[in-house]
Amino acid sequence: AQSVTQLGSHVSVSEGALVLLRCNYSSSVPPYLFWYVQYPNQGLQLLLKYTTGATLVKGINGFEAEFKKSETSFHLTKPSAHMSDAAEYFCAVSGAGDTNAGKSTFGDGTTLTVKP
């Protein structure tokens, strides 16, 4: 079974400040990890993903995340927040095997507010 915990349902930062959104996962198989962003009344857009290889993953819009197996974490960071980053962010885990076919398990989401 797989699960994702996102710490903090709401995060507020000032424009130009560091963004840190936390995600911890649980998986019985090697995990594939994803961060998505959702703007109001829209679907989910992929920011970045980890499958194998380098544990520091760079994504779009200046976001990056580091896979830490020992801590079962995949936290999302951005050095300098922009007003346009205000949205809801979801961490997701998927895995190999028939029981995981086509299925991603999502965290509850973190709403990011950026103050001017």
Partner 1 sequence: KAGVTQTPRYLIKTRGQQVTLSCSPISGHRSVSWYQQTPGQGLQFLFEYFSETQRNKGNFPGRFSGRQFSNSRSEMNVSTLELGDSALYLCASSLDGTGRETQYFGPGTRLLVL
How many residues line the site for partner 1 (CB under 8 A)? Answer: 29
Q: How many CA atoms lie within 13 A of 79 on its CB side?
A: 2
User: CA-to-CA distance for 115 and 97, rounded, in angstroms?
Assistant: 43
Q: Residue 16 CB, nearest distance to partner 1 (Å)?
A: 30
- In this complex, which beta carbon is closest to partner 1, that of residue 17 or of residue 49? 49
Reduce the secondary structure of 13-81 to three states and give it as a string. EECCCCEEEEEEEECCCCCEEEEEEECCCCCEEEEEEECCCCCEEECHHHCEEEEECCCCEEEEEECCC
Q: What is the per-residue binding string for partner 1 in 16-55, x denoting contact by CB under 8 A? A: ----------------x-x-x----xxxxxx--x-xx---
Choosing from 81, 105, 112, 114, the residue that interacts with partner 1 (CB under 8 A) is: 105
Q: Residue 66 CB, nearest distance to partner 1 (Å)?
A: 18
Q: Residue 14 CB, nearest distance to partner 1 (Å)?
A: 27
Maximum Cα–Cα distance across the chain: 47
Q: Whole-angstrom distance between the N-terminal and C-terminal Cα of the chain?
A: 41
Choosing from 17, 66, 77, 109, the residue that interacts with partner 1 (CB under 8 A) is: 109
Which residues of this chain interact with partner 1, rule CB under 8 A?
32, 34, 36, 41-46, 49, 51-52, 90, 94-109
